[in-house]
Amino acid sequence: MSLPLHVLDYLIILFFLAGSLGMGLFFAKSQKTTQNYFLAKGKIPAWALGISLLATLISSVTFLAYPGTGYSSNWILLVQGLMVPFVLLTAIWFIVPLFRKVIHLSTYEYFERRFSPFARYYASVAFVLRQFSGMGTVLFLLALSLEKMTHIHTVVIILIVGFVIIAINLLGGIEAVIWLDVFQGFMLFLSGIICLGVLLFSVDGGPAEVWRVASENGRTGFGPYEWDLTKLTFLVMAVNGIFYAIQKYATDQTVVQRYLTAKTDRAAIRASLLGILLTVPVWSIFMFIGTALFVFYQQNPLPADTRADAVFPYFIMTRLPTGIVGLILSAMISAAICSLSADLNSLAAVGVEDYYKKLWPGRTDKQNLVASKLIVVLSGLVSIGIAILYINAGDEGVLGIVFTLYAIFSGGIVGIFLLGLFSERANYQGVNIAIAVCVIFTAYAFLTSTPIGTGEDKKLLLDLGSWNFTHHKLMLGVYSHLIVIGTGYLASLFYPRQDLDSNLLYRGRPDSGEKR
């Protein structure tokens, strides 16, 4: 894939980057308080928040991972996303009012109010680790793909995109991020539909032939449907998807912060439903692009040794006309800017609310705002640094360590939330014990299922023989939540009941749709 971009494509990309910076400048004048900077209270309509949620949950990895998976396999990875509407269409009605009533800014304030500061910081630290590891990954993968298509060095791309994201957040706060999300959300749909349309009618025989060949070659469906938890099956993805939906929409600061931004509870619920219902079609479009790519390249053979995740970029560079290429690459960059901007703003929100205000209480709102912007800059630079380190470190390098730490110390967050929401008997002593048990279990499962080395030297980090954790890695997260729920409830029975605010429990959820 050595074809250079046309000058027009470069100009389209530069125009988009300049427009993104312009959005930050446009909203800079209104960022005078932390409320405006993080919540823009009452300024954002529900439909814009819904599209912002969509853009927040779709990163540039969607452009690469989903088509790559659809090309090399069937649609099993969609199962996780398909579970989101089933879970949230029943839960969003009380999750949104709950958070809007009981927290100020940080999602993890709920964990402290329901249990203890330890529960709050366990969940908060897990979120911070996940954000940094995820942001570094997105930046690195975006830069790696763009380097092959633009011939601009990976580090240069990381720096340019990273500093644009920092500038947008620094200048315009959440208001700029959300309105930029709106524009970029439309770009996501447009680029996906263009690529899928071109593909379907580039195949000899059209859409009917795509479906026939894909079906005959096992590229459709969501199987295998075996009752087997040791490998990737429909069951594993479905169960994992249930907990993924709760973790993302009920314990993730990036999403919960959107609930707080809405004018009313009803507006927040409408925005959430819109975001949920739009996300699945976008994932499906890009997965089916991979399916169509498989059929297209059955008829038009690829160069030898082309990896699955490189097939879609190859198609963009070799089959799409000048101008459209620039538009698609701009959409790919926009997806990264959407998700990373939201991540950066939420990191700053948690940093100020969970740490800065605790360490330096009594500061003025102006001082808190300065600290917020400083955290934005520092967090952005750390993410850029992780992405650059990943270039040389590879899978077993620094970022791999970050992923390992997150895997060990972030388990059971959904379990804590569900226990706090539905069990009046659960108390902080029981939950603290459950967190300790969960960390031990997660460390055991990770160490006894993760190999190191290659070839004959390949071995597990910890080999306990028949006692090794043999189930699929995705089940590790499911078990950690279940362990917290079971252990937390049983351990709580040995300690006195807590005096609780009924608003922290499901039975005490707010009934009004117009509070806060």
Walk along the chain (516 residues) and give the pLDDT tens digit of each residue: 455 688 999 999 999 889 888 888 888 888 889 988 999 877 889 999 999 888 877 766 677 788 988 999 999 989 988 898 888 888 899 999 999 999 999 999 999 999 999 999 999 998 998 888 888 888 888 888 888 888 889 999 999 999 999 999 988 899 999 998 888 888 888 888 999 999 999 999 999 999 999 999 999 999 899 999 999 899 999 998 899 889 888 999 999 999 999 999 999 999 999 988 888 888 899 999 999 999 999 999 998 888 888 899 889 988 999 999 999 999 888 888 888 888 999 999 999 999 999 999 999 999 999 999 999 999 999 999 988 988 876 544 444 454 455 555 567 899 999 999 999 999 999 999 999 999 999 889 988 988 887 767 788 889 999 999 999 888 888 999 999 999 999 999 999 998 888 889 986 554 544 444
The 3-state DSSP composition of the chain as helix, strand, coil percent (nearest 5) reads 75, 0, 25
Provide the token pair at 219.
């590229």
Q: Is residue 399 part of a domain?
A: no
Terminus-to-terminus CA distance in the chain, angstroms?
A: 53
CA distance 219 to 204: 18
Does residue 312 belong to any structural domain of this protein? Answer: yes
Inter-residue long-range contacts of 124-129, CB under 8 Å, 24+ positions, other chains counted: 124/350, 124/354, 125/409, 126/406, 126/409, 126/410, 126/413, 127/251, 127/252, 127/253, 127/350, 127/410, 128/347, 128/350, 128/351, 129/402, 129/405, 129/406, 129/409, 129/410
Find, among 288, 275, 338, 277, the residue nearest to 82 by Cα: 277
Is 500 domain-assigned? no
Domain hosting residue 121, numbered range: 7-30+45-392
* CATH number, position 195: 1.20.1730.10
Q: Does 346 fall in a domain?
A: yes
**Residue in 472, 360, 409, 400 with CA at minimum distance from that of residue 76:** 472
Q: Rounded to two decimals, what is the model's pTM?
A: 0.89
**So what's the pLDDT on residue 393?**
60
Q: Output the pLDDT for position 71.
A: 93
Q: Is 451 part of a structural domain of the chain?
A: no
User: Residue 263 falls within a domain, yes or no?
Assistant: yes
Phi then psi dihedrals of residue 453, to 5 deg: 85, 180
Q: Which of 164, 184, 181 is nearest to 383 (CA)?
A: 164
CA distance 30 to 199: 44
Q: Number of folded domains in the chain?
A: 1
In a domain, 146, yes or no: yes
In the prediction, which pLDDT does 149 show?
A: 83
Q: Is residue 318 part of a domain?
A: yes
CB atoms within 10 A of CB 328: 26
